[in-house]
Amino acid sequence: MSHYNRTQGAENKKASTRTVSKTKKQRNWKRWTIHLFPIPALLIYGLFIVYPLFAALTYSFFDWKGIVRGEFVGLKNFKDLFTLQPFSDLFWNAFGHNILYFALQMVFQNGLAFLLAYVIYKKVRGSEFLKIAYFLPRLLSVIVVGFLWKLILNPNYGALNVILERLGLESLQKAWLGDPDTALIAIILVNCWYGLGFGVLIFLAGFQSIPQELLEAGRLDGANSFSMITRIIIPLMVPSIMIMTVLTFIQSFEAFELVYAMQGSQGEPYHSTDTLAVYFYRLAFGGSTGGATTAVGLGSALAVVLFLFIAFFTALYLKYMQKKQVDM
């Protein structure tokens, strides 16, 4: 900036006649306007993303009456979150569910997506159709996905139990969302259904970026399928595996919409489908039961903990992406 101004100033001084200095001034003005360009984006992004996140951090140090800020209480909210009942039990309960969310998505969504992407990569007939078919659910709004599956999983009239009956598998019929043992797993599997196609596309892009020469070379060296896969394909797939892992991680720890759509803000039945984000929503905005008991301080403390947790892994991701850019 300083260098830029100095040359401009020098140019101004050099301008001797009145007319020349006028056009120079115009040009300087024209150049200077470039600094206005990022301002709209900075303002909107700063006001609605950066400010609220920092504010959430400070909120956690205060006592709150509804959404009116009380006195400074230091780390009390954090202490309560982890030691006071029922808050600490609810926290660890929800935390465990988030872990399960992540683990099952890794296996059922990403594992399956990897295999299917490989099948498409091998150019089976109909691969275009397969790609579109897997991706289709991703077009729906999460709320539509949640309600649609709620209807399908309905114990009395839902399609799933009817299908099980037709197949002679009555013994497997269940009130999927009403049973604390199956409700969370059902929701996570619905999430896998929703996210599968996205994973397929990411892994497919990974497979397609494997240089053909490497595969040819491996083949010429007489590598068998197994060592081709473990020695060449998997190592070259590490970037896409990383990306999907981190995205799934972030998404699992932010899981809210689908749970809310299918089981409401209480994580029914008996908090068996609670996730940290659902619990956070409840603390911040009160239950859906009509009682408007909010705990903004506790909610903010939870947000900070969750934020730091996600940020840590996100930082790893950024670092990795940076390294990748250097490599390129």
Partner 1 sequence: MNHTIWSKPFYYAFAFFVASVSIYPILLMILSSFKTSAEIFTSPLAFPQSFSLDTYRNLLEMVPFMTYFTNSVIVSVVSVMLILVTSSLAAFYIARFTFVWNNMIFFFFLMGMMLPIKLGIVPLFILMKDLNLLNSLWSLIFMYVATGIPLSILILTGFFRTMPRELEEAARMDGAGNLRILWNVVLPLMRPALGTVMIIQFIQSWNDFFFPLIFITDDLKKTIPVGMLSLFGEYSADWGALFAGLTLASLPMMVLFFVASKQFMEGLTQGAIK
- Select 183 or 255, whichever has its Cβ closest to partner 1: 255
SS3 (DSSP) at 258: helix
- 310 scored as a contact of partner 1 (CB under 8 A): yes
Q: Which of 13, 18, 30, 123 binds partner 1 (CB under 8 A)?
A: 30
167-186 mask for partner 1 (x: CB under 8 A)?
--------------------
* Distance (Å, whole) CA 142 – CA 281: 17
| Two structure tokens written together for 146 | 């949640």
| Residue recorded with tokens 């050099």 | 14
Q: How far is the CB of 169 from partner 1 (least distance, A)?
A: 15
Exactly one of 41, 167, 292, 326 binds partner 1 (CB under 8 A); that residue is 41
Residue closer to partner 1 (CB basis): 67 or 103 = 67
Q: Are 203 and 113 in contact (CB under 8 A)?
A: yes
The answer to whether 254 and 310 have CB atoms below 8 angstroms apart is yes
Bridge partners (DSSP) listed for residue 62: 72
* Among positions 164, 241, 254, 320, the unique one binding partner 1 when judged by CB under 8 A: 254
Residue 185 is encoded by which pair of tokens?
């797993």
Q: Does 236 bind partner 1 (CB under 8 A)?
A: no
- Residue 175 per-residue DSSP state: -
Please, which of residues 70-129 interact with partner 1 by CB under 8 A? 112, 115-116, 119-120, 124, 126, 129
- Output Rg (C-alpha) for the chain, integer angstroms: 27
Q: Which is nearer to partner 1, 1 or 16 (CB)?
A: 1
Q: Which of 94, 183, 186, 303 binds partner 1 (CB under 8 A)?
A: 303
In the shown chain, the binding pattern of residues 127 to 166 toward partner 1, with x for contact by CB under 8 A and - for none, equals: --xxxxxxxxxxxxxxxx--xxx-xx----xxx--xx--x
The rounded distance, in Å, linking the Cα atoms of 191 and 215 is: 35
Q: Which stretch binds partner 1 (CB under 8 A): 26-34, 83-91, 96-104, 172-180?
A: 26-34
User: Which span sits near partner 1 by CB under 8 A: 8-16, 55-63, 77-85, 173-181?
Assistant: 55-63
Residue 165, amino acid: E
In whole angstroms, what is the distance from residue 62 CA to residue 13 CA?
57
Binder of partner 1 out of 7, 171, 226, 292 (CB under 8 A): 226
The residues, any chain, with a CB within 8 Å of residue 60's CB and separated by 6 or more, are 77, 78, 297, 300, 301, 303, 304
Instruction: Report if residue 307 touches partner 1, rule: CB under 8 A.
Output: yes
E strands within the chain?
A: 62-65, 68-72
| Site size with partner 1, rule: CB under 8 A | 99
Q: Which stretch binds partner 1 (CB under 8 A): 90-98, 171-179, 245-253, 266-274?
A: 245-253
Q: Of these, 65, 79, 219, 319, which contacts partner 1 (CB under 8 A)?
A: 219
Nearer to partner 1, 116 or 183 (CB): 116
Does 262 interact with partner 1 (rule: CB under 8 A)?
Answer: no
E strand spans, 38-149: 62-65, 68-72
Show the tokens assigned to 201. 């596309």
